[in-house]
């Protein structure tokens, strides 16, 4: 069996181990630290080989992508996990993944890779020699059939050229790479340089205890948020495939105007000197939910770029001056480098640009393709599922099931990508490995033929086809077909929305809200027949005939009721008590257990009715609506009305008791 070396047991290395096993290879994972998690395992500034810091998140870091969009394709996150996981929770997810697939025995902890080089017979065998320091600090070498480098790009801090007077500055200057928490910054005046995600997070963290925080930005940012205006994870909604198709049709300027208007309506960047001159799509957006409050209460103050230093203070380019500064924290990003790949010469890096096919393969080695980089991307979305997809591509190619283009084809693809980045983004070290989640996942999935073809899916599973168009697209969709499909992929996709709801502590976030995530009124024109019959305020069965499909209520205490307006499979719009359109229904949930007595119950297979499926789903064919499993949830207005009636009744009851006692 072929042996594969995997460097790094972080978010990119773990799925590489998993798929190495799945494809029948024998993996050996070299991890420099004593645990899994990579960047996402918080640790103090421990010094490792050659006194280099091991990268880790801050103590307070919460991931910017939601759990469903972060999950690996065959391992959904636990429903009770928060939608935006603290680093400790994300690490727990990684541990569960490792335990579930038995990956731990393939990881060699405290093994530091010094060099990866081609063997003397590489042109014949494609093999690699890996030299490493083991856990006893003894240098050893081993031969492998293939190598995956999965160490990310947060290892080498980028330090900008010194500012005038910086050498005279008596305060502390450090890179965010070294910043772990706000300890030792109490009552200090701090300048944070750089307004990416790290800069915003550091500024917010410091603002809790520092005397004053100044956030310095050269050109401002478009500030985005984890949640949309409905309180749902923004990346989850943004990933709906139909929305992606629609965005492609819009001119880039128009798309930017729409997004910018929404962001400005939420927080007026101009008031705080943050509004940039560039368009929204021209940069990787900065995401921070807490910063607006910190700016409003003055604990964080915006400043332009630094011009120079004095012994104790800092001048900015607008001639403003802060006379006393205790510390400057450089949130200026990282430099891409591969020091372990033939002493840094194998993968050239120029101006932070790498020439790798699909950000994975060196074109010069296209005749073998036995070495790849995994996870070297900066996506508008989550890195984890993309890194997993890259690992799937690598092992599919290595096993001979997929073929990549030759060197010329790879170079053309690289050139096209670099030109596209140049057209879209501002010139910046930050924008050299940018990808969009859904288009890039589709691009990679086509290499291994696991892309779901919607019209083909519709012939066999119209409900699933509808979901693929109108639902968010976590990575489970790429395990429905293709090499090593996962039997649980369909169910994981259908239950995705329910796990999102559970992430909000079981809150009914989809009340009165159709699955397409458009407002209810937008559905009204969609249906021309049928009307639901209300049995009680806030409790509805969608017609005059029906059956309870579930023997027991779900965890929210609701039964699943099937229904059809004319006794067939045709559906109609379902309205709440206040006539707000909930969705197109042929079955609904209800909290009214009396229906269990009124109607016969029947058990319906999970493939047909899933009590955890999302609300108001349907598949549309010309002139008719077919469905396999639909649900709706108690509308907020109905809940409030019923609650108010109960409270009023309780007050009247108490009044009667008082009157009787008197």
Rounded Cα distance, 205 and 213, in Å: 10
Confidence of residue 46 (pLDDT cuts 50, 70, 90): low
Rounded Cα distance, 407 and 51, in Å: 38
Place of tokens 């900008």: 160
14 vs 55, which has greater pLDDT? 14
Task: Write the secondary structure of 59-109 as one string of H (helix), E (strand) and C (coil).
Answer: CCCECCCCHHHHCECCECCCCCCCCCCEHHHHHHHHHHHHHHHCCHHHEEE
Rounded Cα distance, 358 and 116, in Å: 21
- Would you say residue 173 has pLDDT above 90? yes
pLDDT tens digits for range 493-548: 999 988 998 887 643 333 332 332 323 333 322 332 222 222 232 333 333 233 33
State the CATH architecture for 3-155+335-447: 3-Layer(bba) Sandwich (3.50)
Arithmetic mean of pLDDT over the chain: 81
- Would you say residue 629 has pLDDT above 50? no
- Would you say residue 258 has pLDDT above 60? yes
**Predicted pLDDT at 115:** 97
Q: Token digits for 647? A: 């409270």
**Predicted pLDDT at 229:** 82
- Judge contact between 346 and 354, C-beta under 8 A: no
Backbone angles phi, psi at 176, to 5 degrees: -60, -20
Q: What mean pLDDT comes out for the span 57-84?
A: 94
Residues of the chain with CATH 3.50.50.60: 3-155+335-447, 159-332
Angle value at C-alpha 42, between 39 and 45, nearest 5 degrees: 90
- Would you say residue 312 has pLDDT above 90? yes
Task: Report which DSSP code applies to 568.
Answer: S
Backbone angles phi, psi at 391, to 5 degrees: -65, -40
Q: What mean pLDDT comes out for the span 177-184?
A: 91
- Would you say residue 267 has pLDDT above 80? yes
Q: What mean pLDDT comes out for the span 415-436?
A: 92
DSSP secondary structure, 502-538, as one string: HHTTT--TTTT--TT-S-GGGGGGG--S---EEEETT
516 vs 562, which has greater pLDDT? 562
Indicate left, alpha or beta for 168 from its phi (over 0: left) and psi (-120 to 50: alpha): alpha
> In Å, how far are 157, 171, 199, 217, 330 from 308, measured between CA atoms?
21, 14, 20, 14, 14
Place of tokens 């697939």: 101
- Would you say residue 631 has pLDDT above 70? no
> In Å, how far are 113, 159, 278, 434, 575 from 424, measured between CA atoms?
37, 26, 11, 10, 44
Confidence of residue 429 (pLDDT cuts 50, 70, 90): confident
> What ranges in 542-612 are assigned the alpha helix state H?
595-598
Angle value at C-alpha 180, between 179 and 183, nearest 5 degrees: 95
**Predicted pLDDT at 43:** 84
Backbone angles phi, psi at 253, to 5 degrees: -65, -40
**Predicted pLDDT at 621:** 29
**Predicted pLDDT at 47:** 54
Q: What mean pLDDT comes out for the span 228-251?
A: 88
- Judge contact between 16 and 6, C-beta under 8 A: yes
Rounded Cα distance, 60 and 44, in Å: 13
Q: Which residues pair with 349 in a beta bridge?
A: 354
**Predicted pLDDT at 143:** 98
- Would you say residue 382 has pLDDT above 50? yes
**Matching CATH number, 159-332, of 3.40.190.10, 3.40.50.2300, 3.40.50.11540, 3.50.50.60:** 3.50.50.60
Rounded Cα distance, 156 and 602, in Å: 61
């Amino acid at each position: 069996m072929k042996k594969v070396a995997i460097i790094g047991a972080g978010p990119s290395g773990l799925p590489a181990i998993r798929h190495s096993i799945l494809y029948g290879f024998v993996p050996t994972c070299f991890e420099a630290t004593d645990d899994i998690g990579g960047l996402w395992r918080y640790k103090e500034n421990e010094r490792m080989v050659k006194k280099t810091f091991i990268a880790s998140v801050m103590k307070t870091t919460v991931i910017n992508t939601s759990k469903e969009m972060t999950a690996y394709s065959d391992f959904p996150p636990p429903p009770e996990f928060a939608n935006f996981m603290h680093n400790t929770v994300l690490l727990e997810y990684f541990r569960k993944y490792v335990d579930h697939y038995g990956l731990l025995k393939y990881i060699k902890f405290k093994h530091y890779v010094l060099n990866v080089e081609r063997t003397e017979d590489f042109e014949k065998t494609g093999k690699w020699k890996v030299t490493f320091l083991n856990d006893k600090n003894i240098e050893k070498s081993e031969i492998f059939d293939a190598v995956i480098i999965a160490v990310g790009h947060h290892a080498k801090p980028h330090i900008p050229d010194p500012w005038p007077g910086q050498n005279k500055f008596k305060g502390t200057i450090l890179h965010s790479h070294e910043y772990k928490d706000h300890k030792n910054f109490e009552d200090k005046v701090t300048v944070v340089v750089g307004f990416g995600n790290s800069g915003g997070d550091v500024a917010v963290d410091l603002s809790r205890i520092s005397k004053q925080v100044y956030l310095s930005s050269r050109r401002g940012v478009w500030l985005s948020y984890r949640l949309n205006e409905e309180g749902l994870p923004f990346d989850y909604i943004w990933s709906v495939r139909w929305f992606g198709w629609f965005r492609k049709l819009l001119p880039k300027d128009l798309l930017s105007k729409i997004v910018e208007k929404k962001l400005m309506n939420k927080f007026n960047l101009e008031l705080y000197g943050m509004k940039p001159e560039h368009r929204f799509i021209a940069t990787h957006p900065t995401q921070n939910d807490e910063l607006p409050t910190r700016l409003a209460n003055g604990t964080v103050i915006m400043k332009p770029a630094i011009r120079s230093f004095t012994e104790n203070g800092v001048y900015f380019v607008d001639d403003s001056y802060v006379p006393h500064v205790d510390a400057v924290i450089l949130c200026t990003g990282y430099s891409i480098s591969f020091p372990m790949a033939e002493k840094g010469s194998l993968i050239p890096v120029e101006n932070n640009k790498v020439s790798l096919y699909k950000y994975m393969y060196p074109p010069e080695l296209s005749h073998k393709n036995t070495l790849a980089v995994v996870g070297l991307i900066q996506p508008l979305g989550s890195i984890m599922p993309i890194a997993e997809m890259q690992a799937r591509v690598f092992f599919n190619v290595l096993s001979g099931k997929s073929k990549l283009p030759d060197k010329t084809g790879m170079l053309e693809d690289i050139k096209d990508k670099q030109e596209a980045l140049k057209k879209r983004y501002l010139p910046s070290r930050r924008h050299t490995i940018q990808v969009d989640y859904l288009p890039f996942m589709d691009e990679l999935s086509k290499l291994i033929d696991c892309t779901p073809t919607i019209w083909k899916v519709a012939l066999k599973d119209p409900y699933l086809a509808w979901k693929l168009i109108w639902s968010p697209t976590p990575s489970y969709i790429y395990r429905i077909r293709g090499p090593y499909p996962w039997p649980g992929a369909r169910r994981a996709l259908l239950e995705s929305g329910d796990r999102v709801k559970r992430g909000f502590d079981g809150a009914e976030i989809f009340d009165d809200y159709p699955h397409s995530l458009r407002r209810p009124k937008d559905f009204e024109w969609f249906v021309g027949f049928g009307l639901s019959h209300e049995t009680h305020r806030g409790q509805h069965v969608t017609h005059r005939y029906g059956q309870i499909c579930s023997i027991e209520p779900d965890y929210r205490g609701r039964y699943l009721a099937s229904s059809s307006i004319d006794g067939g499979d045709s559906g109609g719009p379902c309205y709440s008590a206040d006539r707000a359109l909930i969705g197109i229904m042929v079955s609904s949930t209800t909290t009214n257990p009396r229906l269990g007595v009124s109607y016969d119950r029947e058990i319906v297979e999970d493939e047909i009715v899933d009590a955890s499926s999302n609300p108001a789903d349907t598949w549309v064919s010309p002139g008719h609506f077919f469905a396999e499993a639909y649900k709706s949830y108690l509308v907020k207005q109905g809940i409030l009305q019923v609650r108010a009636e109960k409270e009023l009744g309780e007050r009247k009851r108490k009044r009667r008791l008082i009157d009787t006692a008197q």
